Amino acid sequence: MKSSIPVAITIRSFNLSGSAFKKLEENCTLSFINKTGERLSETDLMKALANVQGVIAGTEIFSRWVIDQCNSLKVISRVGVGIDSIDLGAAQEKGIRIVTTPDSPVQSVAEHTLALALSVLKNIPRYNEQMRKNNHTATAGSLLSGKTVGIAGMGRIGTRVAELFECLGCHIFFYDPMVTRQTPSAWKRVDSIEDLVECSDIVSIHATPQADGSPLIDANVLSHANGITLINTARGTLIDEQSLISALSSGKVKAAALDVFPTEPYSGGLLSFPQVIATPHVASNTVESRLQMEMESVNNLIKSLEDAGL
């Protein structure tokens, strides 16, 4: 592949001193690098993609309007897994190939999910805040061992989450109509998301976005809850925000731990609940996983451009 091929880095964070960046520099011409630390708007994204043939992308919105302006773009190489921010129909019409890094974030997201669950059960954020105010009030926590954990989405990450929780003495139930492979006999499959919510103490979401963009967890689903802890490290659109607010108010959902939100950066009503733990979409953001994801995304981009004959 010729080093003159123009590419852009539009993701809001990319290690510019790492080996992945060095490899990208050696193989391509960098026409644009996002150094703002912020997700680019559609207008800025469109400008960044002018005349480039490949892009290292994050969660920027590759709408039809953006893609229609990209007459040279051949490859979108996503640092991560989700592609719901890309208009797939528009990309297909333009002949743009989309590649992702499905293996790299698995352990990081699974560990973050476990950390969120333990933070809820052990009241860790509350104690941390109280002690800084010289408040040493103790509130009884709960054991994780013995809890029924319901996994919505038994892909790579969901499977790893189930393994971690099982190691700590949890009972695993799961809902995933797409899974055909054999799962451990101790893991119990349920037929609906309502059944999963009804039988679980903790529900952790690891599903892909719904085809029609509708939430997986809505008011009807939450009406089946009995004081669950709800964890979401997948996509913010999988939970209807107002339904979750209502369920937190009624006690149907006892607590929630959320790394993703319908709109990011998030500053909405969920943050007013003390029983909600929030992190800013950082579940995959460990040093080790980021290095792996960045190198995988660069390798994917280079190979895809070579396959395109560039």
| 166: enclosing H helix or E strand | helix 156-167
Query: Measured on CA atoms in the order 129, 132, 134, 139, is the torsion positive or negative?
Result: positive
- From the candidates 93, 129, 163, 264, which is the catalytic residue? 264
Answer whether residue 2 shows pLDDT above 70. Answer: no
Q: Return the domain boundaries, the chain.
A: 6-104+287-307, 106-278
In the predicted structure, residue 1 carries a pLDDT above the cut 80? no
- pLDDT bin (cut points 50, 70, 90) of residue 45 is very high
The CATH H-level (homologous superfamily) assignment of domain 6-104+287-307 is NAD(P)-binding Rossmann-like Domain (3.40.50.720)
Q: What's the order of all strands across the beta sheet hosting 276-278?
A: 188-189, 171-175, 148-152, 202-205, 228-232, 253-258, 276-278
- Selected catalytic residue, list 78, 160, 235, 290: 235
Confidence at 72, pLDDT banded by 50, 70, 90: very high
Active site (annotated) includes residue 281: yes
Active-site residue (options: 112, 160, 281, 290): 281
Top CATH class of 106-278 equals: alpha beta
Asked, colleague to colleague, whether 6-104+287-307 and 106-278 share their fold, the answer is yes
Q: What percentage of the chain exceeds 90 in pLDDT?
A: 92
264 is catalytic: yes
